[in-house]
Structure 1
Amino acid sequence: MTTTSTDLDAEALDLLRALTGRADAVFHDGQLEAIRALVDDRRRALVVQRTGWGKSAVYFIATLLIRRRGAGPTLLVSPLLALMRDQVAAAARAGVRAAAVNSANAHEWGDVQRQIAQGQVDVLLVSPERLNNPRFRDEQMPELMRTMGMLVVDEAHCISDWGHDFRPDYRRLAELIRTLPGEIPVLATTATANERVVADVEEQLGSGTPVLTIRGSLARASLRLGVLTLPTSRERLGWLLSHLVSLPGSGIIYTLTVSAADDTARLLREAGHEVAAYSGRTDPEEREVLEQRLKTNDLKALVATSALGMGFDKPDLGFVVHLGAPSSPVAYYQQIGRAGRATDNADVLLLPGREDADIWQYFATASMPSESRAKAVLAELSGTPLSTPALEARVDLKRTPLELMLKVLDVDGAVQKVQGGWVSTGLAWRYDRERYERIAAARVAEQDSMLRYESATTCRMQLLQADLDDPAAAPCGRCDICAGVWYPTDVASEAAGRATTALDRVGVEVEPRAQWPAGADRAGVSLTGKIPPEERVESGRALARLTDLGWGTTLREVFAAGSPDAPLSRGLLDGCVRVLKEWPWAERPTAVVAMPSTSHPELVSSLAEALSSVGRLTLLPPLTATGPGSTTGRARGGANSVYRLADVWQAFEVSPSLAEALAGQSGPVLLVDDLVDSRWSLTVAGRALRRAGAPAVLPFALALVG
């Protein structure tokens, strides 16, 4: 079929009007140019345009045009399940037959494969992780490669080391692109890319082929930006309680941690607001329900972590409020881009917190593999395939960082996923120290930029555009710098009181370990299966989580690097006493015993003494530390359960005097510590106390990590 550019333009415009449902719809600058490049010229193109510009219209219309010309389906790589759901729905509205293959619909893969074979799928959406699933890679990918009409990479900044998120699976796409025949068009789209990212994506997209980059202004004329700096979490939550109802429409309240999302949502619900928490811990089915409730304005807001991010599409979202600042302007721009996509006005307000920098630091290196651990993984994979759980029992890594490590090594060509697990490829592997140092330095620079945004004296939108190297950056005329403060700054006394009460809540359950980790025998712990009830601790309590908005602030100061060991403060003691009063134990403890601590011995001993005095409990001799493992079990943040258990397995000893004292106890023993992380220290110490005669053991700590 031969068409002229005029025919193509008219055909594309008809499809646009069908897609939008508007007879007067016209293309934005750059949309038709991109469609021509993909359909007529079979080029590789990068589109960098603001959220709401219409990037999906480009690839849906190009797909239909390419399909009409006899080509196969488009493979669309999309990063999030929420984004896939929205894209499938949008495709249906455009008359595009779309199907998704992801972790949530494995039972449908066979049907999707048959639909593709019968020509009934125009767009197949897959996650970047799916490209390395052995079944998908071996059974479906070869046929897709043979028949593919176009490849689309959404959120393409993730391909780059300079992207806002270290996503190793996206790096695999560069290799896929290199293997594509030259006549298959490739489109990469993103709304967040500075010049470094653009250059990096162009290099990986082109593979020696010239790339057409279409870049527009990233200014969002509908957004009204502001920053309100309040001194404490009490004031920030009080502001939300005071003014959430007056924010336009429905929106998103972003928090930096899961516990902050849960606590904030609970506080707002108790005050009568229709809100819900949304995080990485939310079940996939519940996420879909919550997203739909927000879209239908059944909720005033979702209180969310970054799990609700790229691709969530509610065109009339009226506001985005951040309770704490993201670590980079790029991430911030991405999240506020959810608002005002199809409205003239939307409000965006940042309420930064003093704790933000500490939280940034905690997450800064979470995705960076260490050389020693990478080599340990490779050494274990030199033989037969090992599943991830089996490998976890052999190396010093938790499941999530281990999975990330395997992805990095896979992308680097050092390991391969096969049926039954992972194997080494035998290829030489070099730790790319320079690359990781470069990423770390970029993140520090991004944090500095975010701080400059918070304290800005010039247009806030212009600053965000400048951070994204937008050549069209200019004053917006709407933000609180350009037009003056547009948001209320007062906090109602009643709201402040509610916030104080919520933040002053104490008590977090510390669930007891019930089972020894699989593979513990490889680390010298010859125990398997369930922990016998007679050797198990009871459900415990901590004063608060370190990430909590309330008591977490005080606890983070106590446990901050460089903070001196000191006796328990009166304020912390009062909080601990309240936890004990509210603890629904089956039987009140009769005695207290302290864990040994090399990092906070004075703090722990004073905690045990104070609780003994206030609660009129017998103060027993402390457990004896037999080595450094009594604290390394908590300190080794990257270690998995097997290694953490091994660290503390021989770390505690019941002295003769403690054993004698335990023999005289008729009730439970309160076992006190400073921090609880993996819970293996308390599990092993509690087992030792039970075996020495303690009727029951109730663990108690100041802080729960995580």
Structure 2
Amino acid sequence: MSSTATPDPESETGRPAVPPSGAPASGAADGPLAALRGEADAVLRGLAGDTARLREDQWRAVAALVADRRRVLVVQRTGWGKSAVYFVATSLLRARGAGPTVIVSPLLALMRNQIDSAARAGIRARTINSANVDEWDAVQAEVADGAVDVLLVSPERLNNPDFRDTVLPKLAAACGLLVVDEAHCVSDWGHDFRPDYRRLRTLLGELPRDVPVLATTATANARVTADVAEQLGTGTDDEDALVLRGSLDRESLTLGVLRLPDAANRLAWLDTHLPEMPGSGIIYTLTVAAAEEVTAFLRSRGHVVASYSGRTDDAERQAAEADLLANRVKALVATSALGMGFDKGDLGFVVHLGSPQSPIAYYQQIGRAGRAVDRADVLLLPGREDEAIWRYFASLGFPPEDQVRRTLDVLADAGRPLSTAALEPRVDLRRNRLELMLKVLDVDGAAKRVKGGWISTGLPWRYDAERYARVAEARGREQQAMRDYIATDGCRLEFLRRQLDDEQAAPCGRCDTCAGARYGDDVATASLDAARAALGRPGVEVEPRRMWPTGMTDAGVPLKGRIKADEQAATGRALGRLSDIGWGNRLRPLLAADAADAPVPDDVFGAVVQVLAAWGWEQRPIGVVTIASRTHGTLIDSLGARLAEVGRLPWLGRIEYAPHAERAPARSNSAQRLRALADAFVLPPEAAAAVREASGPILLVDDRMDSGWTLTVAARLLRQAGAGEVLPLVLAVEG
């Protein structure tokens, strides 16, 4: 949490402040409010230092919460001091006998920062989240005993059956203040919509009317602000509500865009210029694969950096956060998993290797920098892979009505709770999309999460096609806005502020279009050579499937439990990942749905040979088998034939589609994919005889691996035909 400044005679919005209960704007009223202001500033000094004093809008929010027990929505820039409002209000309310503050907070990094901040002011804070399950009983006992001032809860807890039915009612009854942090997550118009946040309606409905509510966010345009206000009961038409929306200017930030020719030049630029960047900072990437790739490269070049993503376990995340806070690393190379809540006042730079698909999301992430320093550098290095990644994330939106209705019908017919794993064989949706849809249905009252899974409530439900279409259109406009941001010759910060409907937006005088570029596009020759070598280095391990999906017998497929050891594939290899910034950029157009089916290009084939040379298998393959393809048959067969020729191996044949085989659904979940593929392939008799006669490891060649079930089913056929081992080789791995 950043320290706060002495208030100006006007509020942060630039308009004369209208204080609660008619108190003067300066906060210098006689009587109870003056005393309250003195108490509030005293608490703040414990948080932010001896010279700290509440800003005018901070004081207005605190007074509204403590003196008038109102509902308040605060939309203020990152670093303004929103957390100071709820910690000061908590201290004052607790001193007046109120129950503990409940803060709904979306990220563990944010929770850890807030607990540390609270301790500095003598506020006892605890948390209940997925990372401390073993402590839940003890924490709940401390809350019941009055030993906790602040309880931080992840939004996912709000719909955990035990928490929702047992803990939540007690919290609602005892709560002295409810805080909804990062409140833009409530809105499906927001860049980071989270259905679990919508459960706050239930909690708000159970709160006594005199319990104050504070919602805070730094990234909400007018539409999102209105939506959040409506959902949290803090709309401007509510006479009990106070909406405080301030300027989004960040005087310390210097924004710029560098358009470099390719991924190698972007990595080389980082290697060349990272030592020049002020202090320590964050390098954002769009995918986990890119984060790991960039981290490995920078470390190989001697930079002290750490990777931070959704794939990083909690202990490693905590260590990475601590290292950045203590300046033991130059940068965290992070995905949006570090997008909200990480509080390091002296963070000196934020670099994006790839463009987020929303100006609001971009403003959120760059807001981590420059909160307590005079200068912080913000740079965007867009890449040609950005648009493909945007399209992938767009495909994860709310499903079409027929899939939603199908899910509700399955739940209604089951007669018992169904887990997401049990639903997958019956519903053609991937796990993350299925879970998001169920959470929305839960909020809408059509489904409910209970012990053991999900049930249908049987209540009427309407598919709001118009709203979903408008949200999709809004996402398209946001993507265009990011293209416009990259191309603009106007002030970059003003552009972002206008995207967030900041009426005070004006040229900053600091960005590369206002004052000239702070950094050039030059790269050191050694850096570029090293980057090209790193990105051109082929080879990714492909882990085989070990278990069949849950519930396949219910889908009519007699497969369950562990895949027999003598029917499994071995660990395979891929040339690269489609989501990485090295081989991914070469493979995406080659394997695109509309790409021409042609023989494997020489450069790709040469890289595959390098992968084989570095494989290190215990026994050399004795033959090559390819898998039939409806889209890339020529590509796959040419790859298999050339590998057989170069390796002096026999081509033993092709695994073909069975006559009855239907096209497997694209982007379906694991169970649906297996259901479609379980009996979709056959090994022709002559190929089976060749495999049986060869009696040794087989190199199994395909174009890509997505769910992994094509390779699993094909390998099982080969093992059943007598193959000693099956070594999968694909050009690309999805994800």
**TM-score by shorter chain over 0.5:** yes
The one of 695, 699, 706 equivalent to 2:728 is: 699
How far apart, CA to CA, are the structure 2 residues paired with 1:344 and 1:593?
A: 62
Question: Counterpart in 2 of 1:520?
Answer: 552
Question: Counterpart in 2 of 1:205?
Answer: 232
Range with greater deviation from structure 2 (107-116 or 53-62): 107-116
How far apart, CA to CA, are the structure 1 residues paired with 2:629 and 2:219?
A: 47
Question: Counterpart in 2 of 1:11?
Answer: 39
SS in 1 for 2:654: coil
Whether the 8 Å CA contact 1:365–1:440 is kept in 2: the answer is no
SS in 2 for 1:213: strand
Equivalent position amino acid for 1:674 in 2: D
How far apart, CA to CA, are the structure 1 residues paired with 2:673 and 2:94?
A: 55
Question: Counterpart in 1 of 2:675?
Answer: 646
How far apart, CA to CA, are the structure 2 residues paired with 1:683 and 1:55?
A: 52
Whether the 8 Å CA contact 2:168–2:203 is kept in 1: the answer is no
Whether the 8 Å CA contact 1:276–1:303 is kept in 2: the answer is yes
How far apart, CA to CA, are the structure 1 residues paired with 2:128 and 2:608?
A: 49
**What is the Cα deviation at residue 629 of structure 1?**
4.7
**What is the Cα deviation at residue 388 of structure 1?**
3.2
How far apart, CA to CA, are the structure 1 residues paired with 2:89 and 2:185?
A: 23
2:514 matches 1:482: yes
How far apart, CA to CA, are the structure 2 residues paired with 1:146 and 1:171?
A: 20
Map 1:311-330 to 2 at 5 A: 311-330=341-360
Equivalent position amino acid for 2:527 in 1: A
SS in 2 for 1:453: helix
Question: Counterpart in 1 of 2:409?
Answer: 379
**What is the Cα deviation at residue 375 of structure 1?**
2.2
Cα displacement string for residues 50-79 of structure 1 (whole angstroms, at most 9, x for unaligned residues): 111110111111111112222211111111
Equivalent position amino acid for 2:698 in 1: V
Whether the 8 Å CA contact 2:288–2:309 is kept in 1: the answer is yes
The share of aligned pairs that are identical, in percent, is 58
RMSD: 1.6
**What is the Cα deviation at residue 266 of structure 1?**
0.3
Cα displacement string for residues 222-263 of structure 1 (whole angstroms, at most 9, x for unaligned residues): 111110000100100000111111111111100001110001
Q: Which runs of 5+ in 1 are unaligned?
A: none
2:220 matches 1:180: no
**What is the Cα deviation at residue 627 of structure 1?**
4.6
How far apart, CA to CA, are the structure 1 residues paired with 2:695 and 2:64?
A: 81
**What is the Cα deviation at residue 518 of structure 1?**
2.5
How far apart, CA to CA, are the structure 1 residues paired with 2:161 and 2:418?
A: 14
The one of 152, 155, 160 equivalent to 1:128 is: 155
2:82 matches 1:55: yes
Q: Which runs of 5+ in 2 are unaligned?
A: 1-29
2:322 matches 1:295: no
Cα displacement string for residues 360-389 of structure 1 (whole angstroms, at most 9, x for unaligned residues): 110113142332332232223221222333
How far apart, CA to CA, are the structure 1 residues paired with 2:74 and 2:153?
A: 20
How far apart, CA to CA, are the structure 2 residues paired with 1:628 and 1:18?
A: 73
2:118 matches 1:91: yes
How far apart, CA to CA, are the structure 1 residues paired with 2:186 and 2:559?
A: 44
Question: Counterpart in 1 of 2:653?
Answer: 621
Question: Counterpart in 1 of 2:286?
Answer: 256
Whether the 8 Å CA contact 1:76–1:126 is kept in 2: the answer is yes
Question: Counterpart in 1 of 2:295?
Answer: 265
**What is the Cα deviation at residue 534 of structure 1?**
2.2
How far apart, CA to CA, are the structure 2 residues paired with 1:112 and 1:523?
A: 42
Range with greater deviation from structure 2 (290-299 or 119-128): 119-128
2:704 matches 1:672: no
**What is the Cα deviation at residue 19 of structure 1?**
1.9
Equivalent position amino acid for 2:639 in 1: L
**What is the Cα deviation at residue 140 of structure 1?**
1.6
Whether the 8 Å CA contact 2:172–2:203 is kept in 1: the answer is no
Whether the 8 Å CA contact 2:692–2:723 is kept in 1: the answer is yes
The one of 426, 438, 443 equivalent to 2:475 is: 443
Cα displacement string for residues 558-611 of structure 1 (whole angstroms, at most 9, x for unaligned residues): 122322111111111111111111111111112111101001111111111111
Whether the 8 Å CA contact 2:69–2:211 is kept in 1: the answer is yes
Question: Counterpart in 2 of 1:357?
Answer: 387
Question: Counterpart in 2 of 1:537?
Answer: 569
The one of 399, 408, 428 equivalent to 1:369 is: 399
Q: 1:195 to 1:82 in 2, by over 3 A?
A: same
Range with greater deviation from structure 2 (614-623 or 335-344): 614-623
**What is the Cα deviation at residue 182 of structure 1?**
2.3
How far apart, CA to CA, are the structure 2 residues paired with 1:667 and 1:178?
A: 67
Range with greater deviation from structure 2 (358-367 or 452-461): 358-367
Question: Counterpart in 2 of 1:214?
Answer: 244
2:70 matches 1:43: yes
Equivalent position amino acid for 1:672 in 2: V
SS in 2 for 1:225: strand
SS in 1 for 2:731: strand
**What is the Cα deviation at residue 631 of structure 1?**
5.5
SS in 1 for 2:653: coil
How far apart, CA to CA, are the structure 1 residues paired with 2:230 and 2:311?
A: 36
Question: Counterpart in 2 of 1:81?
Answer: 108
SS in 1 for 2:60: helix
SS in 2 for 1:698: strand
**What is the Cα deviation at residue 82 of structure 1?**
1.0
SS in 2 for 1:542: strand
How far apart, CA to CA, are the structure 2 residues paired with 1:75 and 1:4?
A: 26
Whether the 8 Å CA contact 2:572–2:729 is kept in 1: the answer is yes
Question: Counterpart in 1 of 2:16?
Answer: none
Equivalent position amino acid for 1:368 in 2: F
**What is the Cα deviation at residue 681 of structure 1?**
0.8
SS in 2 for 1:622: strand
Whether the 8 Å CA contact 1:599–1:631 is kept in 2: the answer is no
How far apart, CA to CA, are the structure 2 residues paired with 1:3 and 1:393?
A: 67
2:692 matches 1:663: yes
Question: Counterpart in 2 of 1:548?
Answer: 580
The one of 113, 117, 134 equivalent to 2:144 is: 117
Whether the 8 Å CA contact 2:624–2:644 is kept in 1: the answer is yes
Q: 1:630 to 1:613 in 2, by over 3 A?
A: farther
Question: Counterpart in 1 of 2:261?
Answer: 231
Aligned residues: 701
Q: 1:627 to 1:306 in 2, by over 3 A?
A: farther
SS in 1 for 2:77: coil
How far apart, CA to CA, are the structure 2 residues paired with 1:664 and 1:611?
A: 20
**What is the Cα deviation at residue 162 of structure 1?**
1.3
Question: Counterpart in 1 of 2:621?
Answer: 589
How far apart, CA to CA, are the structure 2 residues paired with 1:313 and 1:287?
A: 14
How far apart, CA to CA, are the structure 2 residues paired with 1:263 and 1:665?
A: 39
